[in-house]
Chain A
Amino acid sequence: MSVRPSGQASVRRRIAVVLTLLILLLPFLWLLQMSFKTNDQILQFPPPLIFTPTLENYSALWHSAFSQSFVNSLLSASFSTLLALLFGVPGAYALSRWSGRGKGSLRFVILVTRMAPPIAFTIPFFLFYRWIGLLDTVTGLVLVYTSFNLPLVIWMMQPFFETVPASLEEAALVDGASARVIFTRIMLPMVTPGIAATAILCFLYAWNDFFFALILTRTAARTAPVAVVNFMNYEGWEWGKIAAGGSLVMAPVLVFSLAVRRYLVSGLTAGAVKG
Chain B
Amino acid sequence: MIEAGRRSFNRIALAPSLVVLAAVAGLPALYLLVVSLTPFQLANPGSSSDFSAPLRNYALLPGDPRFINSLLVQARLSFWSVLLQVILGTGLALLLNVKSRMVEFARTFFLIPMVLPPIEVAVIWKLVYTPDISPLYYAASLLHVTLPALTSDVSFALWSIIIADTWEWLPFTFLMVLAALQTIPDEYAGAAKVDGANPVQIFLYVTLPFITPILIVSAMFRLIDSVKAFPLIFLLTQGGPGDVTEVTNYYAYLLAFDNNEIGYSGAVTVVMLLLVSAVSLGVLWMGRRREALA
Contact = CB atoms under 8 A, between A and B. Distances in A.
A258 B228 CA distance: 23
Given A91-B17, A265-B176, A115 B224 contact: yes
A128 interface: yes
A115 B115 contact: no
Contacts of A190: none
A62 interface: no
Given A94-B14, A123-B262, A250-B116, A113 B25 contact: yes
A139 interface: no
A26 B13 contact: no
Interface in A144-162: 144, 146-147, 150-151, 154
Interface of A: 1-9, 13-14, 16-18, 20-21, 24-28, 30-31, 34, 42-43, 45-47, 87-88, 90-91, 93-95, 97-98, 107-109, 111-113, 115-128, 143-144, 146-147, 150-151, 154, 173, 178-180, 183, 204, 207-208, 210-211, 214-215, 225, 228-229, 232, 239, 242-243, 246, 249-250, 253-254, 257-258, 261, 264-265, 268-269, 271-274
Interface string B253-294: 100110000100110010011001100110110010001000
Contacts of B8: 179
Given A97-B10, A265-B175, A117 B276 contact: yes
Given A173-B2, A229-B123, A211 B231 contact: yes
Contacts, number: 288
A117 B249 contact: yes
Interface in B98-123: 98-100, 102-103, 106, 108-120, 123
B115 A204 contact: yes
Contact of A28 (B29, B112, B272, B283): B112
B94 interface: yes
Interface string B11-27: 10110111011001101
B187 to A, nearest CB: 10
Contacts of A21: 106, 109-110
Q: Top 9 nearest A-B pairs by Cβ distance?
A: A91-B17, A179-B9, A9-B100, A90-B13, A124-B28, A257-B115, A147-B24, A94-B14, A94-B13
Interface in B119-166: 119-120, 123-128, 132-133, 135, 138
Interface in B183-234: 184, 186, 189, 199-200, 202-203, 206-207, 217, 221, 224-225, 227-228, 230-231, 234
A264 B127 contact: no
Contacts of A121: 25, 28-29, 32
Nearest to B235: A229
A1 B207 CA distance: 12
Contact of A30 (B110, B127, B231): B127
B124 A28 contact: yes
Q: For A3, A34, A261, A269, which residue has the most chain B Cβ atoms within 10 angstroms? A: A3
Given A31-B124, A111-B280, A119-B253, A98 B10 contact: yes
Contacts of A108: 280-281, 284
Contacts of A47: 135, 138
Contacts of A144: 24
B284 A43 contact: no
B95 interface: yes
Given A21-B110, A24-B110, A47-B135, A273 B281 contact: no
Given A42-B133, A111-B284, A6 B28 contact: no
